[in-house]
Amino acid sequence: MKDKRETAAFAEVNCQRLGALAGLTTSADAPAPAAEQWGEIERRLDRRWGGLSLQRSWPALAVSALAILCVGGWLAARRPLGYSVEGCTLVADGVFATAANREGVVAFADGSRMSIEKGGRFRLDMLPFGHGGEINIDDGEARLAVVHRAGARWAVLAGPFRIDVTGTRFGVRWARQQGRFHIAMLEGEVLVAGGAIPPSTHLRAGQTLSADLSVSSFAIADEHSSSAEAPHAGATGAALPAEKIHLDSTGQRGSRLMTVPPRKHSAMVAHIENPVAVGAVPRSGEATPHLAPSAPSEPASAESPAAPMSPQLLPPSPFAAAPTETPPPTALKPVGVHVFFGEGGQLGHGLTGDTWVAGGEGTTFSTPASWDDRTHLRPEAGLLCTSGTVAGLSCVNEGTPRILCNWDRNWGVAIGWNTRADLKAWGDEAMGAIAVEFRGRSASYRLNAHLKGDPSERIYCIENYKSGQVVRPSMFKSECWFDKGDTLADFTRVDLFNLQSSSGASYVAFRYCISGITLYP
């Protein structure tokens, strides 16, 4: 027994000696990891960040190719939903405006309809494959009748609010300047979210929802019950009186008709069919030309462009009897103030400064197109967006702890805003916390703050900032990249914030939009 144990121990010792011998094979002459090795890794990362190696994963590639063929064939059979537009002026790609004296109507190929009140402005983003799309109401009132269809995805966006639709009829009104949002349900159900409204707030036929960004409140009323329904837990909206909904019929729409076939997302103008009936597509700012009545189109179907309007299918304005201005809920305790983005980039509701975009020397902007190093960033459809590319960093001493790169010049891109129009510190108006909602490409974002009077090189920041994250002054650190340093006591001395997307080791394309800034006491 003892011999057995000794033999095992000796065998173990032999293995240890062999292991030490193997250890000798790594001599000091072995080449150190070279910087070009990282370059090759990064190149291959770019090629297969999704994870497939062409050389070694051919079985997976073969299966994937087969799957792609199948899915591709299936997708090829699906096209974006076509639509026709009447009484609207095309002011930008996918963006329409109704005239000041008449309403516009959109008829989708599946029979869904939307009418926009005069003076309205909206954007259509149809799903490139599949059924449905996003209707972004920039300003004004719309009535929708969405035909229920399995697999369809429809959403209506209005400022920070989102309505997910299946099959239903409802009216929606968005007053951008006042930050007021109103929806009145006629049929079916929708899910509403945004602002103070909790995600997936359910609205059914007969209910109305009013929200006011300026006081961060919302209220739901039900015409079928005498008392208003309290909103979801956590919301502080007071009840509004139930609104009376009139079901008036609507008259015949005007004669202008633009028939738009299924299209790719960004190529709408080039695909307009039947130019004789349609006429020239109006450019941005042009008045809608008078056109002769169009020839009758074929009935709407899922595969063909939409037929002329069937106004009877459209819901009448549910706001006909509603007061022009939604009475602000009273006795509310605001949970947050949503900052208003003015057309020229001026902020309102809690902040008075301007919005802007800035980039390092390696940054090239696609959006805004007219960026000239010191330009306001104007919102489009309620979003502050920027896109472009950032050159890769140039570094020395790569692969060593003493690596040095040109971070100070090629620092990336930032969307920023001053807290006050006079560029002074925020002062007594300062709030206790801030949240920035944004969306964009996957990247590491940093929220920065600067104090009035501090040296320009000193900032306070939050690394890896996530959209909607509510942050207080104590969370901003002077060395956030090391998660240490001084913290802010409050925001009273802050004169600007910005949301930064940093440069990286290689060339990168960026695109991100700020959709909302919320201030909290």
Partner 1 sequence: MEVALSTMVVSPQLDQAAASAPDSSDAGLVRAARAGDRRACFAIWSKYATLVQRLVWRFLGPGPDYADVCQEVFLRLFKRLDELREPAALQGFVVSVTLGVARNESRRRRIRAIVGLVPEDVLPAAPGLPAQDEAREAARALYQLLGTLSAEDRSLFVARFVEKMELTEVAAAHDISVSTAKRRLARLVERVNARLKSSPVLMEYVGPLGQGRDP
Query: In the window 28-47, what residues touch partner 1 (CB under 8 A)?
Result: 29-33, 37-38, 40-42, 44-45
Closest approach of partner 1 to the CB of residue 10, in Å = 3
Phi/psi at 40 (nearest 5 deg)?
-70, -40
Closest approach of partner 1 to the CB of residue 512, in Å = 12
CB within 8 A of 232, min separation 6: which ones? 198, 201
Specify the residue for token string 């369809």: 152
Specify the residue for token string 């472009």: 388
Span of 162-170, 190-198, 252-260, 407-415 interacting with partner 1 by CB under 8 A: 407-415
Based on the shown chain and the rule CB under 8 A, indicate whether residue 418 belongs to the binding site for partner 1: yes
State both tokens at 374: 């010191």
Based on the shown chain and the rule CB under 8 A, indicate whether residue 364 belongs to the binding site for partner 1: no
Based on the shown chain and the rule CB under 8 A, indicate whether residue 98 belongs to the binding site for partner 1: no
Nearer to partner 1, 41 or 63 (CB): 41
Nearer to partner 1, 407 or 520 (CB): 407
Q: Which of 323, 374, 453, 489 binds partner 1 (CB under 8 A)?
A: 374
Q: Are 482 and 466 in contact (CB under 8 A)?
A: no
Span of 171-179, 216-224, 326-334, 481-489 interacting with partner 1 by CB under 8 A: 481-489
Based on the shown chain and the rule CB under 8 A, indicate whether residue 22 belongs to the binding site for partner 1: yes
**Three-state DSSP class for residue 213:** coil
Based on the shown chain and the rule CB under 8 A, indicate whether residue 458 belongs to the binding site for partner 1: yes
Q: How far, in Å, CA of 159 to CA of 388, rounded?
A: 24
Q: What share of the chain is helix, strand, coil (3-state, %, to 5)?
A: 15, 35, 50
Q: Which of 300, 393, 430, 519 binds partner 1 (CB under 8 A)?
A: 393
Nearer to partner 1, 40 or 303 (CB): 40
> Which has the closest alpha carbon to 181: 328, 50, 310, 19?
328
Based on the shown chain and the rule CB under 8 A, indicate whether residue 312 belongs to the binding site for partner 1: no
Closest approach of partner 1 to the CB of residue 438, in Å = 14
Q: How far, in Å, CA of 183 to CA of 210, rounded?
A: 7
> Which has the closest alpha carbon to 196: 411, 415, 516?
516
Amino acid at 184: A
Q: Are 182 and 208 in contact (CB under 8 A)?
A: yes
Q: Are 84 and 308 in contact (CB under 8 A)?
A: yes
Specify the residue for token string 């609205």: 203
Based on the shown chain and the rule CB under 8 A, indicate whether residue 450 belongs to the binding site for partner 1: yes
**Distance in Å from the first CA to the final CA of the chain:** 77
Based on the shown chain and the rule CB under 8 A, indicate whether residue 486 belongs to the binding site for partner 1: no
Q: How far, in Å, CA of 273 to CA of 278, rounded?
A: 8
Nearer to partner 1, 277 or 505 (CB): 505
Q: How many residues bind partner 1 (CB under 8 A)?
A: 94
Closest approach of partner 1 to the CB of residue 490, in Å = 19
Q: What is the DSSP letter of 72?
A: H
Q: Which of 185, 496, 513, 519 binds partner 1 (CB under 8 A)?
A: 496
Q: How far, in Å, CA of 343 to CA of 324, rounded?
A: 22
DSSP code string of 472-492: -GGG-EEEGGGTEEEE-S-ST
Query: 355 - beta bridge partners?
Result: 417
Q: Which of 223, 250, 463, 469 binds partner 1 (CB under 8 A)?
A: 463
Taking CB under 8 A as the rule, which mask of x and - marks residues 500-519 in contact with partner 1? x-xxxxx-x-----------
Q: Which of 411, 426, 438, 476 binds partner 1 (CB under 8 A)?
A: 411
CA-based Rg of the chain, rounded to a whole angstrom?
A: 29
Span of 156-164, 326-334, 372-380, 425-433 interacting with partner 1 by CB under 8 A: 372-380
Closest approach of partner 1 to the CB of residue 119, in Å = 25
Nearer to partner 1, 17 or 283 (CB): 17
Nearer to partner 1, 71 or 403 (CB): 403
Span of 147-155, 222-230, 291-299, 439-447 interacting with partner 1 by CB under 8 A: 439-447
Based on the shown chain and the rule CB under 8 A, indicate whether residue 177 belongs to the binding site for partner 1: no
Based on the shown chain and the rule CB under 8 A, indicate whether residue 10 belongs to the binding site for partner 1: yes
Amino acid at 461: C
Closest approach of partner 1 to the CB of residue 265, in Å = 24
CB within 8 A of 25, min separation 6: which ones? none
Based on the shown chain and the rule CB under 8 A, indicate whether residue 416 belongs to the binding site for partner 1: yes
Nearer to partner 1, 43 or 271 (CB): 43
State both tokens at 482: 């090391």
Closest approach of partner 1 to the CB of residue 99, in Å = 28
Amino acid at 98: T
> Which has the closest alpha carbon to 135: 146, 144, 148, 125?
125
Based on the shown chain and the rule CB under 8 A, indicate whether residue 224 belongs to the binding site for partner 1: no
Nearer to partner 1, 147 or 508 (CB): 508
